[in-house]
Structure 1
Amino acid sequence: MLLCSQYLKVSMQIACKRSLLMCISCWSQNGEVDPALKALEERQDEVLRRLYELKATVDGLAKTVTTPDADLDASTLSRGPAESVFRATADLDSLLGKDLGALRDIVINANPAHPPLSLLVLHALLCQRYQVLSSVHVHSSVSAVPPPLLSCLGPRHIDSYARQRFQLGFTLIWKDVSKLQMKFNTQSMYPIEGEANVARFLFRLLSAEPQDPVLATQMDCWIDTAVFQLAEGGSKERAVTLRSLNSALGRSPWLLGQEFSLADIVCACCVLRAGQTTSAPANVQRWLQSCQNLGHFDCVYPLLQ
C-alpha cells in the first residue's frame, strides 16, 4: 500500500512538472526566451530527472515485494556461525514419535566385514546425551565375529534388565547384509540403508545439525565425498579426496570451520578405514590427531588393529 501511494504521488508530480515546462516554453520576449525563465526551465529539468530516478527506484522496490525470489542472490545468504554441536538434546518425541512409555529401539543390521565406524562414534556421543541401553547380537547368517566387534558398544549396562529407565535402545546386529540397515520402528518403518544415511539420522538426535543452510550443504557434500571416494573409490579417488581434505583443513581446524561436525566424524572414519593415516598429508594428520584427542573415536581404534 505504501509503495502504491508513493508511485501515484511521483506520477502526479511528473505530470505537473511537464505541464509547467510546456507553459514556460511558450513565454518569450521578441521571440527569445527570457533568461530567468530559461534558468527556471533548467531547474525544472533537474527536478524532473530526479523524479524519474525516484520512479525507477519505486518500480524496483515494487518488483522485489511482489516477487521476492526473482532477484535473490545466494551470495547474500547469512553465513553466521552455526549452533554449537553437542550442546543440547533433541526432542525425541518430534523425531521418533510420541513416547508412549516404551523404550525407543534403534536396530541396526551391519555386516561384520565392514564395521560402521562412524555409527560407533555417534553411539558414544548419544550415550553422553541420553540414557542408552546398548546391546550387540549375532545373526545366524554370520558364522563367526571377532571379539572386538562383540564389545564395540561397551560393557553391558548394570540396569539393562530395567528397560523403563532408558530413553533409547541401541541394538547392533552383525548380519550378512549387502548394505547397512537401520530401523527405529521395527513394526512399520521401511529401513534406512547406508552408513551415511543412518549417520545423518543419528546425528539429528544430538540436536547438532548446522542451522546455516550453506554449512548444512557443505556437511552433506563432505559426507558423500567420504563415502563414494574414500570408502568406495579407487586409489586415484582417495588421493584426490585427501588433497581436498588437506586444503580445507589448512584454512580451519574442522571441515566446517570452527565446529566439529558429522562431516569430521564420517570423513575421519573413512580415512582410518582406508588405512591412509600415515600417508595422509600434514593437515589431515593433524586433524586426525585432533579427532583422537576428543575421545569420541576411542571405540574405533581397537577395530582397526
Structure 2
Amino acid sequence: MSMYQVKPIYEGAIKADLPTCMYTIPSVHEQQAGSSHSEHAHQNGESDSAVRALEARQDEIMRKLVELKAAVDGLAKTVATPDADLDLTVGSSLASPSPTACTFSGTADLDALLGKDLGALRDIVVNANPAQPPLTLLVLHGLLCQRYRVLSAVHVHSSVSAVPAQLLSCLGAHQADGCARHLFQLGFTLIWKDVPKLQMKFSVRSMCPIEGEANVARFLFRLLSPDPTDAALATLVDSWVDTAFFQLAEGGAKERAAALRSLNGALGRHSWLAGPELSLADIACYCCAVHSGAAGAAPANVQRWMKACENLGYFSRATLQ
C-alpha cells in the first residue's frame, strides 16, 4: 500500500448541493500499521521494473546508433571520392543468384582482403566507360552475389550524356530504395563515367585506384577464391588472362585467330582452361571473345566450352541483354 491512498467516503446525510462521493487521505499512523516487509517488497518491484525499462531503452538507442554509424560511414565514403558529383541515381539492387550455383574449392577471407569489418559496409566503387563495358566485372558481380550479401547500385556521372538502357540495369533487377546498409557485406557501385581506363576503389579514403579491367578482375576474383597455392597453376591463369585482354580483346584478326587456336587446343585436353574447375581464365577469355565478336567463328572445342559457361547462368550478363 502506498503512502497516500485515495479512499471514497459516501455521505448519506449531506445537503443536496454537495457531492455524494468525497475523497479523504488516511493518516500517516494508519499507513504505519501496514507491514513494512510488504512495503519494501513493493518498492523493490517498482525499482526492478524501472531498471528493466531503462535497459531496454538503452539497447534500442545503441541499435539505432549502430545503424546510424553504418549510414554515416557509407555517406563519408561517397563524399570522399572525386566521383561524388553523380547527377543520376539509377537504383540499388540485391542481385538474385542464378539457379545454377558455381562453387570454388577455397574460401576467401574478406577481413584479410578488405580489412576488418567494423560494422560499416565495405564499398567497392568502379568507374567504367560505357563505350567499353567491363563484361568480366558483370560476370564476377553475379558470382559475388552468390557468395555474399551485396548491395548494388548503378550511377551515371555528369561527364556522360547518355547511357543505353541495358547498361543501367546491368547489375540485376531494381531493388526498392531504403535498404538498411548494415544488412549487407559488400557494396558494389558501378559508375558510368568518361574515363580512359577502368578504375576501382574499395577503400576510398586511403588507397589509390586499381586501373585496368584485367587487374580489377583479378582483385574481385580473389574475393571468391584464394590464389592457387601451385605457382605453375597461378602462372597459367595469369597467362590466359593476358591472352584474353591483349589478344582477344585488343589484338588484330591474326592475334585473335591465334588465341582461338590456343584455346581450342587447351580445351581439347581439359573441360576448363586452368584445371578441373572454373577460374578467372575462363571468365576473362569468354567475355573477351564475346566482346570482340570472335565467338561466332570459334572452333568446336571453344564452342563447347562457351556453351558450358553459359549453362552456369552468370555468363548471360556478358551479353548485356
Is TM more than 0.5 here?
yes
Deviations 1:108-145, CA, capped at 9 Å, x for gaps: 00000110000000000000010000000000110000
Q: Counterpart amino acid of 2:272? A: W
Deviations 1:71-91, CA, capped at 9 Å, x for gaps: xxxxxxxxxxxxx95255421
Distance 2:214 2:203 in 1: 19
Quick one: structure 1 residues 121 and 215, their matched pair in 2 at CA, closer, same or farther if it must change by over 3 Å? same
Q: Indicate the residue corresponding to 1:170 in structure 2.
A: 188
Distance 2:232 2:155 in 1: 40
Matches within 5 A, 1:194-209: 194-209=212-227
Q: Indicate the residue corresponding to 1:250 in structure 2.
A: 268
Q: Deviation of residue 197 (structure 1)?
A: 0.3
Deviations 1:164-189, CA, capped at 9 Å, x for gaps: 10000000000000000000011121
Q: Indicate the residue corresponding to 1:69 in structure 2.
A: none
Matches within 5 A, 1:67-216: 86-87=104-105, 89-158=107-176, 160-216=178-234
Distance 1:148 1:256 in 2: 32
| Residues 167, 320 of structure 2: 8 Å contact kept | no
Q: How large is the Cα RMSD of the aligned pairs?
A: 1.5
Deviations 1:42-81, CA, capped at 9 Å, x for gaps: xxxxxxxxxxxxxxxxxxxxxxxxxxxxxxxxxxxxxxxx
Q: Counterpart amino acid of 1:275? A: G
| Residues 126, 191 of structure 2: 8 Å contact kept | yes
Distance 1:205 1:215 in 2: 18
| Residues 138, 171 of structure 2: 8 Å contact kept | yes
Q: Indicate the residue corresponding to 1:12 in structure 2.
A: none
Quick one: structure 1 residues 85 and 262, their matched pair in 2 at CA, closer, same or farther if it must change by over 3 Å? farther
Matched, 1:280 2:286: no
SS of equivalent residue, structure 1 residue 153? coil
Matches within 5 A, 1:8-87: 86-87=104-105
Provide the aligned length of Structure 1 versus Structure 2: 220
SS of equivalent residue, structure 1 residue 125? helix
Deviations 1:240-259, CA, capped at 9 Å, x for gaps: 11111111111111101311
Deviates further, 257-266 or 103-112: 257-266
| Residues 248, 294 of structure 2: 8 Å contact kept | no
Q: Counterpart amino acid of 2:301? A: N
Q: Counterpart amino acid of 2:209? A: P
Q: Greater strand percent: which structure?
A: 2
Distance 2:289 2:191 in 1: 24
Q: Deviation of residue 277 (structure 1)?
A: 1.7
Distance 1:192 1:291 in 2: 27
Quick one: structure 1 residues 160 and 294, their matched pair in 2 at CA, closer, same or farther if it must change by over 3 Å? farther
| Residues 181, 193 of structure 1: 8 Å contact kept | yes
Q: Counterpart amino acid of 1:279? A: A
Distance 1:198 1:281 in 2: 29
Distance 2:253 2:106 in 1: 39
| Residues 132, 169 of structure 1: 8 Å contact kept | yes
Unaligned runs of 5+ in 2: 1-101
